[in-house]
């Protein structure tokens, strides 16, 4: 499958997630509206999965039929790039488990998850004219 600009394609998710976070509002060190935080975390996590699917396609990793589990991504990344694996584990814990499922509202925690997500998506820059449109 050919992707016009894999980096931009995956970053659209992060951009949309950041818009959701703005709607959450902030009070002290926390986001106010859990609904928007959960939505933002879910969208950002989907951006990670999109980026990894594209990366695996580029690297010609054998595709799995059906729904892919976190273990699928972890296993394949352990063979490709340990740094990306660390970022995936962090983003999975923060964005998917804490943010999306448990409703974590700490700004610092959520920002750390977004940083890990962007690090993963940045791995697509070499295949995307270095991220340029």
Flag whether 83 is in a domain.
yes
Residue 99 lies in a domain: yes
Distance of alpha carbon 113 from alpha carbon 115, whole angstroms: 5
Say what the pTM is. Answer: 0.90
User: How would DSSP label each residue in 92-114?
Assistant: IIIIIIIIIIT---BHHHHHHHH
pLDDT above 90 coverage of the chain, percent: 80
Is 66 within a domain? yes
Q: Which domain holds residue 60?
A: 6-129
Token pair of 32 as six digits = 């106010």
Domain count, the chain: 1
Report percent pLDDT > 70 for the chain. Answer: 94
pLDDT band for position 130 (cuts 50, 70, 90): low
Looking at residues 88-101, what average pLDDT do you find? 98
**pLDDT tens digits, 38-69:** 999 999 999 999 999 999 999 999 888 888 89
**pLDDT value for 26:** 97
68 assigned to some structural domain: yes
Give the HSE-up count for residue 104: Cα atoms under 13 Å, Cβ half-sphere. 19
What CATH number should be reported for the domain holding residue 17? 1.20.120.330
CA dihedral sign, ordered 108, 113, 118, 120: positive
Q: What is the pLDDT of residue 1?
A: 46
User: Does residue 90 sit within a domain?
Assistant: yes
Is position 117 within any domain?
A: yes
Domain assignment of residue 1, yes or no: no
């Amino acid at each position: 499958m050919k992707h016009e600009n894999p980096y931009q394609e995956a970053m659209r998710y992060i951009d949309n997630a950041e818009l959701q976070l703005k709607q959450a509002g902030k009070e002290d060190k926390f986001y106010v509206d859990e609904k928007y935080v959960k939505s933002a975390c879910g969208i950002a996590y989907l951006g990670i999965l999109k980026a990894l699917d594209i990366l695996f396609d580029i690297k010609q990793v054998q595709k799995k039929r059906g729904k892919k589990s976190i273990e699928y991504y972890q296993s394949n990344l352990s063979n490709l790039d340990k740094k990306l694996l660390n970022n995936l584990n962090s983003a999975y814990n923060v964005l998917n488990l804490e943010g999306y499922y448990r409703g974590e509202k700490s700004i610092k925690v959520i920002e750390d998850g977004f940083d890990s997500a962007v690090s993963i998506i940045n791995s697509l820059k070499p295949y995307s004219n270095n991220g340029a449109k």
